[in-house]
Amino acid sequence: MISKKVQDAFNDQINAELYSAYLYYSIQAYFEELNLEGFANWMKIQIQEELSHVAKFTNFINERGGRVIPKAIECPPIEWESPMVAFEATFTHEQAVSVSINKLVDIAIAENDHASKIFLDWFVSEQVEEEASVNAVVQKLKLMKDSPHGLFMIDRELAQRVFTPPAGQAT
C-alpha cells in the first residue's frame, strides 16, 4: 500500500511530467514554424518519453492501491529567441525535473517505502540520460554559433531520433 504522502508526491510528479510534455509540445510547434523538422522531431520524441513517464507513475500508483488525481497543467511559454534558447530552456527544465525526482527519492526514504525507492531508481538514471541528451544538443549549437549550415546539419541529425519505450511498456 502506498502512503498518502508518497501518493500525493507522485501525483505532483505526474503533473510535472505532463507539463514537460506540454512544454516540449510548445517548443515542437516553434521549431515547426521555423521549418526545422529535425528539431521538431527531437521534441516529438521527448513528448513521447514524458508521456511514458506519466504512464509509469500512473501504473505504479494503481498497483500500490493508490489513486491518481489529475491536476490542472500550467500553460508553457510559446516563444523563444532562437533554437539555442529553446534548448537551453529544455536543459534547465530537465535539471529541475532531476531535482524533483531526487526529492521523491527523499520522501520514499523518509516514508521507509522501499518499493517506491526502487521504482524511482529508474527515474534517477533516466534523468542523467535526459540531461546528457539535451546538453549534447546545446553544446553542438554552441559550437556552430551562427552558422546556417551547422544548424541544418544538426537539424538533419535530430531528425534521426526515434522513440524507444521503456522496458515493459507498450508504444
Going along the chain from its start, the domains and CATH numbers come out as: 4-158 (1.20.1260.10)
- Among 76, 63, 57, CA closest to 14: 57
CA–CA gap between residue 48 and residue 65 (Å, rounded):
26
Say how far residue 77 (Cα) sits from the centre of its chain.
Answer: 16
pLDDT over 90 for what percent of the chain? 94
- Looking up cell 541529425 gives 157
- Looking up cell 516553434 gives 30
Q: What is the pTM of this model?
A: 0.94
pLDDT tens sequence across 8-64: 999 999 999 999 999 999 999 999 999 999 999 999 999 999 999 999 999 999 999
Q: Cell digits for 44? A: 516529438
